[in-house]
Amino acid sequence: MWKKGVTLATAAIIFASAAANVSAASGRDYISIVGSSTVYPFATTVAEQFGKTSKFKTPKIESTGSGGGMKLFCAGSDIDTPDITNASRRIKYSEYEKCQKNGVTEIVEVKIGYDGIVLANSKAAAQLSLGKKDIFLALAKEVPDPKGGEKLIANPYTTWKEVNPSLPDSKIEVLGPPPTSGTRDAFVELAMEGGCQQIDWIKARKETDKKHFKSVCHTVREDGAYIEAGENDNLIVQKLEANPKAIGIFGFSFLDQNGDKIQGSVVEGEEPTFENIAAGNYPVSRPLYCYVKKNHVGVVPGMAEFLAEFSSEKAWGEEGYLADKGLIPMPAKERQQFAADVAALKPLLMAK
């Protein structure tokens, strides 16, 4: 028994080091993708399709979040680093700079489509019609004093009716993503800041004290009215079903899949429908991106073919399979533009 154990251990160590050497020497025969969990369902669909229809291996896709993906992507340009990173927001200048510094000098930016962020509640309750200002007043940590004056007080509202008399008299109870989520970033930026801008004196602050403006508009209340429900959007949907008074915040694809259980709230008079988001009418929507390391194209097998698959009409077009998965396609012209850029591998130039 003892001898066997020793032999096994030795064998394992030899085997492990051999395996490590082999993989380091032979490089990689599959595409490695990291990044946003919002883009994950779309990227994986393309990857699977690519794996089935091409002679290449199916790409490996890690769900690391937009920021985490950027960090891995920009860590270096050698073969160990990911080839593509997905993001539910545009690359930040600081990230671009870091990429450049680490030798990732040529990045191809691909916008792949749009995602709507919806506020939804159970079908058992009435559909809400919210303004961005209502969203801001209901969810910000500090709001202007309702008595008037340019003064901020801790958010006093407990029911929707208090926020806006046209809304129902039910408790404010919102289930949403935690601060680590890209969905949360986009929601805060698009919905809350948008509502913030509708209050003139706060908007005026944007010019004088940008920092303060941001902290007022971007800080979500922490007194229990906004409940951080974790990254799992399915869980939010289930909770909404159980509690008709609650409102949930998540990506459009979850509304799309659960249309029989939940309904999206109207925002600024626009319903969160596929058509409305695609037309750019629905105000809380964001572009989704992927970023490609140009120097890996031609080194990692299948890179060019994968990008061609991603930017083909049967994938990201209006009738494409990504639309079935809930991705809102770009307008035809934009699609053409990006498809051409991808084919030419046009590197991104970013100025501060």
Partner 1 sequence: MLVGKKESTMDRVNRGLARRYRRERWFRLFGLSAIVTSVCFIGLLFVSIGANGWSAFQQTEILLDIHFDTEQFDVDNLSTANYGALVKNSMQTLFPDVAGRSEKRELSKLVSSGAPYILQKMVMQDTGIIGSSQKIWLPADDEVDMFQKGYILRDVMEGDRRLSDKQIGWIDQLFAEGRLEKKFNSTFFTAGDSREPELAGIRGAVAGSLFTLAVTLVLSFPIGVATAVYLEEFAPRNRWTDLVEVNINNLAAVPSIVFGLLGLAVFLNVFGMPRSAPLVGGLVLTLMTLPTIIIASRASLKSVPPSIREAALGVGASKMQAITHHILPLAMPGMMTGTIIGMAQALGETAPLLMIGMVAFIVDVPTAVTDPATVLPVQIYLWADSPERAFVERTSAAIMVLLAFLISMNAMAVFLRRKFERRW
Give least dist CB 104 to partner 1, A.
17
- Between residues 169 and 260, which has the closer beta carbon with respect to partner 1? 260
Candidates 169, 200, 207, 319: give the one binding partner 1 (CB under 8 A). Answer: 319
Candidates 106, 162, 231, 313: give the one binding partner 1 (CB under 8 A). Answer: 231
Q: Does the protein bind partner 1 through residue 169 (CB under 8 A)? A: no
- Between residues 63 and 155, which has the closer beta carbon with respect to partner 1? 63
List the one residue out of 138, 237, 234 whose CA is nearest residue 192.
138
* 269 burial via Cβ count (<10 Å: 0-12, 13-18, 19+): exposed
Alpha carbon distance 301, 306 (integer Å): 9
Q: Does the protein bind partner 1 through residue 8 (CB under 8 A)? A: yes
x-marked contacts with partner 1 along 261-280 as a string, rule CB under 8 A: --x-----------------
- Between residues 163 and 307, which has the closer beta carbon with respect to partner 1? 307
Question: Euclidean distance between the first and final Cα of the chain, in Å?
Answer: 65
Question: Which residue's structure tokens are 């949403």?
Answer: 176
x-marked contacts with partner 1 along 35-74 as a string, rule CB under 8 A: --x--xx-xxx-xx--xx----xx-xxxxx----------
- Between residues 63 and 77, which has the closer beta carbon with respect to partner 1? 63
- Asked if residue 263 lies in contact with residue 121, where contact means CB atoms within 8 angstroms, the answer is yes
- Between residues 142 and 231, which has the closer beta carbon with respect to partner 1? 231
Give least dist CB 322 to partner 1, A.
10
The DSSP bridge partners found for residue 176 are: 228
Alpha carbon distance 98, 310 (integer Å): 26
Candidates 295, 317, 321, 345: give the one binding partner 1 (CB under 8 A). Answer: 321
Q: CA-CA distances (angstroms) from residue 277 to 63, 113, 286, 317, 339?
A: 25, 11, 9, 15, 21
List the one residue out of 195, 223, 217 whose CA is nearest residue 205.
217
In sequence order, the 6+-apart residues with CB closer than 8 A to the CB of 13 are none
* 61 burial via Cβ count (<10 Å: 0-12, 13-18, 19+): buried
Q: Does the protein bind partner 1 through residue 30 (CB under 8 A)? A: yes
Alpha carbon distance 283, 256 (integer Å): 17
- Between residues 39 and 172, which has the closer beta carbon with respect to partner 1? 39
Candidates 109, 115, 233, 270: give the one binding partner 1 (CB under 8 A). Answer: 233
The dihedral built from the CA positions of residue 275, 280, 281 and 286, taken in this order, carries a sign that is positive
CA neighbours closer than 13 Å in the CB half-sphere of residue 295: 14
How many residues in the shown chain lie near partner 1 by CB under 8 A?
57
- Between residues 100 and 257, which has the closer beta carbon with respect to partner 1? 257
List contacts with partner 1 (CB under 8 A): 1-3, 5-6, 8-9, 11-13, 16, 19-20, 22-24, 28, 30, 32, 34, 37, 40-41, 43-45, 47-48, 51-52, 57-58, 60-64, 80, 123, 231-235, 251, 253-254, 256-260, 263, 319, 321, 325-326
